[in-house]
Chain A
């Protein structure tokens, strides 16, 4: 069964460093998303991406964040200068159509120290 894959599963980084989280969405999907989940809290939307551009972003997704689809299969989230409060699980998701079910990856646990 097709699935969304994310790498790495865990990332520890020092405050101020740049990190890139990687995702391979389901191959025939057109909409791509990044979400964040701080430990013990709900899943929060960060950004959606369609037709090679950002479609929508939340207030969490500030200038420190960027997304890219560098080729036909990968979708990345970059955090330019990590802060302690960026520590969270980051989930990539994809969907075939707008406003339909989104399928999530297993997540990357980011720890900023």
Chain B
């Protein structure tokens, strides 16, 4: 089946630093979603991307959908403690009412 590869697996950064993480796939996705998950909670949608090349911002978050539709990056500027969590990329598995395929996540840890 389709797979999404996220990198890095984990990031240790200082508060205030900018963060960049990405997600790649061997197959084309029509939609690319970025979620954040806090421990014991459900994934929370951050940004949705629908068009190749699309660049979308949500506050300090910026995400871009790659031209080939096989990759995406998520940037977080000026990180703050509440940015800690696991960031997942996800995309629809195929046509119809398919569920989402998730990446394995990037675990963001902020050191004070």
Contacts of A41 in B (CB 8 A): 104
Give how many A residues have a beta carbon under 8 Å from the other chain's beta carbons. Answer: 29
When the two chains form their complex, are residues A47 and B99 in contact, meaning their CB atoms are under 8 A apart? yes
Tell me the residues in window 19-61 of chain B with beta carbons closer than 8 Å to chain A beta carbons. Answer: 30-31, 33, 35, 37, 40-45, 48
Interface string of A75-109 (1 = CB under 8 A from B): 00000000000000001000000111111111101
Q: What's the dominant secondary structure at chain A's contact region?
A: strand
Contact of B102 among A44, A50, A106, A107 (CB under 8 A): A44
| Segment from B10-18, B70-78, B89-97 that makes contact with A | B89-97
User: Closest CB of chain A to B34's CB: distance in Å?
Assistant: 10
Contacts of B40 in A (CB 8 A): 107, 109
Chain A residue with minimal CB distance to B43?
A104
Residues of A whose CB lies within 8 Å of any CB of B are 4, 31, 33, 35, 41-50, 55-56, 58, 91, 98-107, 109
Known: A45-B98, A104-B42, A109-B40. 16 other contacts (CB 8 A): A4-B42, A31-B97, A35-B99, A43-B43, A44-B102, A45-B101, A48-B99, A55-B97, A58-B99, A99-B31, A100-B31, A101-B31, A101-B48, A103-B45, A106-B41, A107-B40
